[in-house]
Amino acid sequence: MQASGRVREHQVVLCGLEVLRLIAERIENRNDVDGRDVQLVLGFMREVAHRCLDNTEDILRLACLEQNVVNHRRARTVFETLSRDADAAEFSSACRLYTDLLAHAIFEDRRCLSKLDCDPQLLSRFYEGERETYELARQYGRTLHHLEMKYTNPHCI
């Protein structure tokens, strides 16, 4: 049950990354993008995806998986570029880099965590944090799916 919640939470994060990638493509192609949509997706990433990174980092540090933590820091640094007023080219470039970094981190962290043999109390705290993050992610799910459709079908904008 714990793993299925983690998978669902990550599906919502991956959907958010896809929306961000689609928005970046539209910006690159000089098409219109609703600034509120960008802010909503960035808010989701800040509130949910980065909270997930924080929770995962605790267990990664204990397992001496510092390279994974470094990848999280790189993703956060690129996210800061997305969060400030960047021009279209800088924003698009940062979106591509951020979506690649974060998707890779999610899959690599999942792979590493599946192989860990940790203290049951530590794992319990980790999964509790994941469950709380999933509850936050779930609140955004429908909206992100709507935005994915909106930016996949440009005639709808």
Number of structural domains (the chain) is 1
Distance CA 83, CA 72 (A): 16
Which residue is associated with the tokens 């689609």? Answer: 22
State the Cα–Cα distance between residues 45 and 136, nearest whole angstrom: 11
| SS3 at position 30 | coil
Residue written as tokens 């470094």?
A: 70
**Tens-level pLDDT at each residue, the chain (157 residues):** 344 444 555 788 899 999 999 999 999 888 888 999 999 999 999 999 898 888 888 777 767 678 888 888 999 999 998 888 778 888 899 999 999 999 988 888 887 777 777 777 777 787 888 888 888 888 898 999 999 999 987 555 4
pLDDT of res. 4: 43
**Which CATH number is 96's domain given?**
1.20.120
Q: Residue 155: what pLDDT?
A: 55
Distance CA 69, CA 121 (A): 21
Give me 26's structure tokens. Answer: 């539209």
* Distances from the Cα of 62 to the Cα of 85, 86, 130, angstroms: 37, 36, 17
How far, in Å, CA of 51 to CA of 46, rounded? 7
What's the rounded Cα separation, in Å, for the pair 22 and 138?
21
102 Cα distance to chain centroid = 6
Q: What range defines the domain where residue 25 resides?
A: 2-156
The pLDDT score that the predictor gives to residue 6 is 47
pLDDT on residue 62 = 67
Note if the pTM is more than 0.85.
no
What count of other Cβ atoms lies within 10 Å of the Cβ of residue 86? Answer: 14
pLDDT at 24: 92
